[in-house]
Amino acid sequence: DIGMWSLPDGAHRYQVRINRGTTTNMSANEIHQIGLREVARLEGEMLDIAKKLGFNDLKTFNASVESNPELRAKSREQILDIYRKYEDQMYEQLPKLFNRLPKAKLEVKPVEAFREKEAAGADYQPGAADGSRPGRINVNTSDPPSRKTISMESTAYHEGVPGHHMQISIAQELADLPQFRRQGGYNAFAEGWALYSEKIGKEVGFYQNPYNDYGRLQDEMLRAIRLVVDTGLHAKKWTREQVVQYFHDHSAIDEVEVQNETDRYIVWPGQALGYKIGSLKITELRERARKELGDRFDVREYHDEVLGAGALPLDVLEQRIDAWIKAKKATPSS
């Protein structure tokens, strides 16, 4: 019995973890059902790409992707160049997406040699609040042939702009907020925004390489699977074997990563729910604003409103966006 359901008052304890991880009052069953729907939706989009590239099913296509040397990095410098290229092209699009842009600069650097072995493929390190040090994407360039290039575009947007660098830097620069609001964070907001940012690239015409678009969907699929297996483990009495099998049925990650991910959800209940729930909420609020405001909706204003008060619990973000919609509707159009 490895789920929180097996503990005294386990259902309530897990609900507390959900509340903390998502900053919502959603139930485990609600989240589980959302996860199932998202997994099905993403598999449909992934299959569409596979078919366009000449494959009839995802299993065969995934095997082809894994064995294709053209989809692997050639050198350390190439990996850095790829990330820099995607950051540069997104920077050019930011004025179409935001009115407020961060003053803080962004650099792409290799992960230090001493931590290459354990480091993720990429992570974000915030810059100094006073601007004396730029934000940084630390990119793991070790063993280039082991690194698939198809996920680098979505990861660049997630970690850099318009993702973590944008959100964190703008928060640090909000002089009217107290320091704890400028420096603080909520996982569902920060990771939800970063996941939402991966799709912004799609909206401005990026992911022209279908393999990169497939990589984006693979990354999103991992976040959707988390909704199913986290709630499965801790509310629906799933076994470890059920979690592992679900990963094998719906993802292409290798056995080592499957086991590591499973361990993570067992020992850190609720944490991994924030990515997808946050992204879905930001998307939902955007669609609400678009419907309510009609031709007065400006995506730049919406994004500024989402990021303009620092990291927020999702229920507070919803109140903020609803108030903005109401105020905008009450203001005569010019």
**Residue 54 burial by CB count (10 A; 0-12/13-18/19+): exposed, middle or buried?**
exposed
Domain range for residue 155? 72-178
Could you give phi then psi for residue 108, rounded to 5 degrees? -110, 120
**What integer is the mean pLDDT of 180-204?**
95
Please state, for a pLDDT cut of 90, what percent of the chain lies above it. 96
- Flag whether pLDDT at 250 surpasses 70: yes
pLDDT of residue 54: 98
Please check whether residue 60 lies inside any domain of the structure: no
pLDDT in tens, 149-189: 999 999 999 999 999 999 999 999 999 999 999 998 899 99
Please check whether residue 5 lies inside any domain of the structure: no
- Flag whether pLDDT at 129 surpasses 70: yes
Please state, for a pLDDT cut of 70, what percent of the chain lies above it. 100
**Token code pair at residue 178:** 């107290």
Please check whether residue 13 lies inside any domain of the structure: no
Q: What is the CA radius of gyration of the chain?
A: 20
Distance (Å, whole) CA 311 – CA 315: 12
Distance (Å, whole) CA 100 – CA 228: 36
Distance (Å, whole) CA 187 – CA 278: 8
Please check whether residue 32 lies inside any domain of the structure: no
Sheet holding 106-110, edge to edge: 106-110, 135-139, 122-125
pLDDT of residue 100: 98
pLDDT of residue 126: 97
Which of the four pLDDT bands, split at 50, 70 and 90, describes residue 131? confident
pLDDT in tens, 73-83: 999 999 999 99
Number of domains in the chain: 1
Please check whether residue 35 lies inside any domain of the structure: no
**Token code pair at residue 76:** 């350390």
pLDDT of residue 184: 82
**What integer is the mean pLDDT of 44-58?**
98
**What integer is the mean pLDDT of 201-223?**
98
Please check whether residue 271 lies inside any domain of the structure: no
pLDDT of residue 334: 66
Q: Describe the crossing of helices 164-172 and 152-159 by its angle, rounded to 10 degrees.
A: 10
**What integer is the mean pLDDT of 112-125?**
96
User: Average pLDDT, whole number, for the chain?
Assistant: 97
Please check whether residue 196 lies inside any domain of the structure: no
Distance (Å, whole) CA 30 – CA 228: 10
Which of the four pLDDT bands, split at 50, 70 and 90, describes residue 328? very high
Please check whether residue 162 lies inside any domain of the structure: yes
Distance (Å, whole) CA 79 – CA 98: 28
